[in-house]
Structure 1
Amino acid sequence: MYLSRSRSGMETAMGSASFARQALTVVLALACVTLCAGSQGDFSNSLHFVRKAPKGHLPATHTRLARHPSAGPSAPEQVSSVLGFEKVTPLPRASQIHISLAGPGAVAVNWVTPGPETSSSHSILHRLSRHLPIQLRHARLGRRLCPGTSIVQYGLESGVYTSQARGAVPTCYSVGDYDSGVLHEVVIGLDGPLPASTDIFYRVSGSGAGVWSEEYAFTTPPPVGPASLPYRLGVIGDLGQTEDSLETLEHMVASGPASVMLVGDLSYADGDHERWDTWNRMVSPLTSRSVWMFTEGNHERERASGVPSWLAYTSRFHLPHAASGSGSPLYYSYDLAGAHVVMLGSYTDHGADSDQAEWLAADLAAVDRARTPWLLVNMHAPFYSSNLNHLREAEAMRVSMETLLRQHAVDVVFAGHVHAYERSYHVYDGAPDPCAPIYSNIGDGGNREGPDTHWLPRPDWSAWREPSFGHGTLDLLNSTHAQWRWVRNKDSVTAVDAADAVTLVRSECHMDRGAVDRAAAAA
């Protein structure tokens, strides 16, 4: 793959670099933190950005975060689904619906309804537990079955529901003084694949009493294969729930991706589980109408009973690991249009002998590049970043997995964690390599901690960097060409141009995996 800038004079040739050199420059960087703060892409390093003071979460009473006062007992508290953004309109009663891919021809619909407040032994124990010492209250941690049913009715015409699917018994979980609502999940398309590229109209019920939500709709993904290109993917990271987060979502809607990849750090609940509810209400107008797929970040690992836990993250979303042969919801893969997409776990075992590394090797080896010519990888902690924040935190994972990514000619690797945007050239082990991936760090979704503004002197592998909030889109145009765009929040939502726009052209390495080994032998 090689890069072709959409604006002339903004790219320079990529020189050599090494991780030894990068480590050495850390000392120099400490002396130039102020000088290097905010240096940006191919504009001038004399442009400085002042980091905003952290704003904190939006108030829970904000109209995008609060449960609608007139919502009835069956109104979903979290619904997610697949549909084009061009059809998004604010639906305040649909506060927590999410749709995700669940295997070939199938999608999962997740939502939350209010939990029972009385008339159950658990509720009585919960009320009594509030008077116990905190150590004993924490012992309430756990996921359990909850009263209710999970039903989705759907069809090809608005108001005409010709099919119905039921999920397993819904669940709830408790942490400290917090009791979740009732967590519902239904997979539709298991009894026969859903028709591709088709509008599906659906409604949900969590009571089994004939009380239904309002109607939602999504468009099923196109058939897997290059004939389904072009296809637009949205990419976002470290979103949070701030005014900046809302601006990012507004710009994302304007960009119009068919589906979205979120590379970790979703809600920034950080143990305040009511903030999982508010975050899901905030994104529900989008996630109920388009596929959003996640990988976990460090903020999804919350402490409960004194130990790290993925309880909220793994309870609230469908993570299709079983469909891709993964033994953990923290890493999985899926096919979409002309791409094979891998979601890696930065915070589970990733050593060379780990289950994740073994799964990744098998998953990449099974990719048919004639069927899915584009190979994309997502993770949270970046392998390559020249920002001083979180510098080289993923070094152990890079050492154990980077060779696999190069061997299998991965095209692009997306990451977050660092609250700034940065795009690399093709790089392997710190040096230029046309058979290596491009790395794009997009942890600038709008979280409450603000942008990370302090940088190392620019490494030769770094093509563009800027500490501004925004999002990206990847247009897979055909089997050989794609267009990457990064859009700043501070630019007009109707702006045609992007702050960083580059055309990706797959090289021989990326069209022929055997060419990678030939290139290595010739080096």
Structure 2
Amino acid sequence: FLWFLGDIGYADDSFIHSGAYVQFDYEIAYNEFMEQIEPFAAIKPVMVLPGNHEAECHSPNCQLSSTKVHQLSNFSAYVHRFRMPYDESGATSNMWYSFDVPPIHFVNIDTETDYKNAPNDSYTPFTSNGNFANGGSWTEWLEADLDKVDRSHTPFVFVGGHRPIYSVTSCDSNGNPADDSANLQAAIEDIMYSHEVDVYFAGHKHSYERSYPVYKAAKESDSYDAPRAPVHVVTGAGGCDEGHDDDSKAVNASWHVMHDTSRWGYGMIVADETSFTWTQYDAATDTAIDTFTLKH
């Protein structure tokens, strides 16, 4: 299957990059993206989770229409265009859910809304985002979901969210997560650590990064053999009109292994009951640029 970690097609920014400032381009861009993925989506499951670019239509055409600005706010297009197994995993909507592909349990979370100090990005003054947890937080669901994992069936656990916790471009000089990354760390790091999550995968940054096993901004080990803390992978280099991230202020944190902002790429996972291997590839050449194997 294919796993998209948010910012699915950048339909909200299409009016900027196409120059269609007056035209209603949001649904056109979404439809074009869906048509582009159709050849493989017809034969392979495509699993998605929300990013900040799924939040709303904020083009001038939408902002000037009271109907469009409300109907296409608060992740409406994302929620209605995709059907993820949320009900089957005890969640309330496509915004968070989980599924098994043995030997891995995959958990998908919403880093945009419904937890303390969530970013709740909104570019319109007329709408607000969130309240998918009926006034609560999806972190309660996350803990309950991880409590139920059967490690004899799925010995590995991956959590995916759009925003990273550990990135060399969103931490202070000592490697401590900053701003939105710090808020996400406060919400889920202890939960992931106590439930022995193996990897946290994120996007958002237009780059590729890999960490050592890390907890509370401290490198737990140089080894990927049965680590106690999660490894953090930022695989946000799938390509977009905004270009690569600026890494001029990147920090050389102790937990940092690999950081690449020069190539667009994709990752692949190969797993069995005792180990898995993650490999990041250069999309232009299909050559590997980074790999690691984690063993239990």
Q: CA deviation at 1:481?
A: 1.1
String of CA shifts for 1:302-337, please: whole Å, max 9, x gaps.
146446321111111112111100123200101112
Q: Structure 2, unaligned stretches of length 5 or more?
A: 13-24, 118-134, 172-176, 221-226
* Equivalent position of 1:313 in the other structure: 78
SS in 2 for 1:362: helix
SS in 2 for 1:335: strand
* Equivalent position of 2:112 in the other structure: 347
Please, what TM-score do these two structures have when normalized by structure 1?
Answer: 0.45
Identity of aligned residues (%): 33
* Equivalent position of 1:500 in the other structure: 290
SS in 1 for 2:11: coil
Q: CA deviation at 1:391?
A: 5.9
SS in 1 for 2:278: strand
Q: Whose radius of gyration is greater, 1 or 2?
A: 1
Q: Is 1:466 aligned to residue 260 of structure 2? A: yes
* Equivalent position of 1:400 in the other structure: 187
String of CA shifts for 1:146-186, please: whole Å, max 9, x gaps.
xxxxxxxxxxxxxxxxxxxxxxxxxxxxxxxxxxxxxxxxx
Aligned with residue 453 of structure 1, among 203, 223, 246: 246
* Equivalent position of 1:483 in the other structure: 277
Q: CA deviation at 1:371?
A: 0.8
* Equivalent position of 2:212 in the other structure: 425
Aligned counterparts, 1:145-184, within 5 A: none
Contact 1:420 1:453 in 2 (8 A): no
Q: Is 1:264 aligned to residue 18 of structure 2? A: no
SS in 2 for 1:309: coil
Q: CA deviation at 1:392?
A: 3.9
Q: CA deviation at 1:396?
A: 1.1
* Equivalent position of 1:444 in the other structure: 237
Contact 1:485 1:502 in 2 (8 A): yes
SS in 2 for 1:265: coil
In 1, the alpha carbon distance for the partners of 2:187 and 2:78 equals 26
In 1, the alpha carbon distance for the partners of 2:211 and 2:34 equals 32
SS in 2 for 1:394: helix
Alignment-mate amino acid for residue 411 of structure 1 = D
In 2, the alpha carbon distance for the partners of 1:392 and 1:439 equals 18
In 2, the alpha carbon distance for the partners of 1:460 and 1:276 equals 40
Contact 2:208 2:236 in 1 (8 A): yes
* Equivalent position of 1:120 in the other structure: none
In 2, the alpha carbon distance for the partners of 1:489 and 1:505 equals 27
String of CA shifts for 1:23-61, please: whole Å, max 9, x gaps.
xxxxxxxxxxxxxxxxxxxxxxxxxxxxxxxxxxxxxxx
Contact 1:445 1:470 in 2 (8 A): yes
Contact 2:168 2:250 in 1 (8 A): yes
In 2, the alpha carbon distance for the partners of 1:481 and 1:273 equals 42
SS in 2 for 1:340: strand
SS in 2 for 1:417: coil
Q: Is 1:373 aligned to residue 155 of structure 2? A: yes
Aligned with residue 38 of structure 2, among 267, 279, 284: 284
Aligned counterparts, 1:35-50, within 5 A: none
String of CA shifts for 1:264-284, please: whole Å, max 9, x gaps.
001101071110000011111
In 1, the alpha carbon distance for the partners of 2:246 and 2:280 equals 18
SS in 2 for 1:393: helix
| Greater RCO, 1 or 2 (C-alpha within 8 Å, sep 6+) | 1
Contact 1:351 1:357 in 2 (8 A): no
SS in 1 for 2:277: strand
Alignment-mate amino acid for residue 397 of structure 1 = L
Q: CA deviation at 1:295?
A: 0.6
Contact 1:383 1:392 in 2 (8 A): no
In 1, the alpha carbon distance for the partners of 2:145 and 2:46 equals 21
Please, what TM-score do these two structures have when normalized by structure 2?
Answer: 0.78
Q: CA deviation at 1:388?
A: 5.2
Alignment-mate amino acid for residue 2 of structure 2 = V
Contact 2:82 2:94 in 1 (8 A): no
Aligned with residue 27 of structure 2, among 265, 269, 273: 273
Counterparts in 2 of 1:274 and 1:391: CA distance versus 1, 3 Å: farther
Aligned counterparts, 1:126-275, within 5 A: 259-270=1-12, 272-275=26-29
In 2, the alpha carbon distance for the partners of 1:423 and 1:406 equals 18
Contact 2:79 2:93 in 1 (8 A): no
Q: Structure 1, unaligned stretches of length 5 or more?
A: 1-258, 507-523
Aligned with residue 298 of structure 1, among 35, 46, 52: 52
String of CA shifts for 1:109-147, please: whole Å, max 9, x gaps.
xxxxxxxxxxxxxxxxxxxxxxxxxxxxxxxxxxxxxxx
Contact 1:324 1:332 in 2 (8 A): yes
SS in 2 for 1:358: helix
String of CA shifts for 1:463-519, please: whole Å, max 9, x gaps.
10100210101111x2221111000123x23x4xx110111112xxxxxxxxxxxxx
Counterparts in 2 of 1:391 and 1:283: CA distance versus 1, 3 Å: farther
Backbone CA RMSD of aligned residues: 2.0
Alignment-mate amino acid for residue 449 of structure 1 = E
Q: Is 1:330 aligned to residue 95 of structure 2? A: yes
SS in 2 for 1:286: helix
SS in 2 for 1:275: helix
Alignment-mate amino acid for residue 471 of structure 1 = Y
Alignment-mate amino acid for residue 336 of structure 1 = V
Contact 1:385 1:392 in 2 (8 A): no
SS in 1 for 2:80: helix
Alignment-mate amino acid for residue 204 of structure 2 = H
In 2, the alpha carbon distance for the partners of 1:328 and 1:351 equals 19
